[in-house]
């Protein structure tokens, strides 16, 4: 009796171990169980908010700083322009392509096409001086300013990075599968991931400016640098397709902004931003 019981227990134990090993091999054989060597790319849209910033303008015969200037984005909502090749720069968009160097870590290149619009007709303080030649229309603003209030009318200043506030960056990030928390076992059908990343890159805005009746200027120019942190939730369907929501916070410093056709006319500013992104993407083995 004892011998038979021992044999029965040994057989049961062997079966349990065999099933466990088989189950482990089966789970690791899933396409989504490993990411190393995979390439991913995504396209989406964003909304963003900016902190107030001091903007310094300088050029021939003037130098002044506008304090605590407010700005906002230029959201377009759900629109066909996001997928219209001829109008892709009209909405606020995001592009990213990356490669998994391990199962959890990736390197990526991204372009966040944000839009920054100085709020019109706001009142701000101005410090500095303006001493334009009397034959220039902008000479009506001549004077020395010390914490004086001035209104941001279009006659005095229009200032926008609307085509756009282009942040081109390299990102190092991490990817973690949390599907098991939701009881998901076949991640090849549906997978839930969380992502975190840190980025650093350059600002290449196309700044739309009119300053004190000078000719309008609207050209691309390498203006500065930025850095960012992001967290996201990734939902992957059928191994290769995903929807991802991200929240990104960052810092932008642009010490060299072109403002008029005269190369001596420049502006500088720095500010923080927060950005929400919804993107659609694909992931596949190279």
Tell me: the pLDDT tens digits for 137-170? 999 999 999 999 999 999 999 999 998 899 999 9
> Which secondary structure element, helix H or strand E, spans residue 11, and what is its range?
helix 2-28
Q: Are 228 and 271 in contact (CB under 8 A)?
A: no
The reported pTM is 0.85
Q: Are 111 and 160 in contact (CB under 8 A)?
A: no
Reduced to 3 states (helix: H, G, I; strand: E, B; else coil), residue 261 is coil
Separation between Cα atoms, residue 264 and residue 60, nearest integer Å: 7
What is the pLDDT averaged over residues 94-103? 97
Contacts of 283 (CB under 8 A, 6+ apart): 35, 38, 39, 40, 236, 239, 240, 241, 242
The predicted structure's pLDDT at residue 74:
87
Q: Which of 42, 44, 40, 43 is nearest to 98 (CA)?
A: 40
Q: Are 59 and 266 in contact (CB under 8 A)?
A: yes
Rg (CA), the chain: 27
Contacts of 213 (CB under 8 A, 6+ apart): 136, 137, 138, 155
Separation between Cα atoms, residue 280 and residue 69, nearest integer Å: 34
The predicted structure's pLDDT at residue 81:
58
Q: Please report, rounded to a whole number, the percentage of residues in the chain having pLDDT higher than 70.
A: 85
CA distances from 49 to 52, 73, 272, 274 (A): 10, 7, 9, 5
The predicted structure's pLDDT at residue 3:
45
Separation between Cα atoms, residue 60 and residue 228, nearest integer Å: 35
Phi, psi of 248 (to 5 degrees): -120, 135
Mean pLDDT highest for which of 32-36, 133-137, 168-172? 168-172
């Amino acid at each position: 009796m004892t011998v038979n019981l021992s044999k029965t227990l040994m057989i049961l134990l062997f079966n349990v171990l065999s099933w466990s090993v088989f189950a482990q091999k089966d789970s690791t054989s899933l396409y989504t169980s490993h990411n190393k060597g995979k390439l991913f790319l995504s396209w989406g849209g964003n909304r963003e908010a900016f902190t107030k910033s001091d903007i310094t303008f300088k050029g021939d015969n003037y130098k002044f700083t506008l304090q605590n200037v407010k700005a906002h984005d230029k959201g377009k909502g759900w629109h066909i322009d996001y997928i219209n090749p001829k109008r892709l720069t009209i909405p606020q968009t995001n592009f990213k392509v990356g490669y998994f160097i391990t199962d959890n870590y990736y390197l990526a290149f991204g372009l966040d096409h944000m839009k920054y619009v100085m709020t019109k007709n706001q009142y701000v303080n101005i410090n500095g001086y303006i001493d334009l030649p009397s034959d220039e229309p902008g000479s009506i603003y001549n004077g020395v300013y010390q914490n004086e209030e001035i209104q941001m009318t279009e006659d005095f200043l229009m200032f926008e990075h609307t085509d756009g506030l282009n942040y081109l960056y390299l990102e190092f990030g991490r990817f973690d599968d949390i599907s098991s928390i939701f009881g998901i076992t076949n991640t090849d059908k549906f997978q839930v991931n969380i992502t975190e990343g840190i980025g650093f890159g350059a600002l290449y805005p196309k700044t739309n400016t009119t300053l004190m009746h000078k000719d309008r200027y609207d050209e691309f120019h390498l203006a500065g640098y930025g850095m960012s942190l992001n967290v996201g939730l990734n939902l992957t369907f059928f191994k290769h397709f995903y929807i991802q929501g991200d929240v990104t916070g960052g810092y932008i410093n642009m010490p060299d902004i072109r403002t008029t056709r005269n190369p001596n006319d420049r502006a500088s500013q720095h500010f923080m931003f927060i950005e929400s992104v919804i993107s659609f993407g694909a992931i596949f083995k190279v």
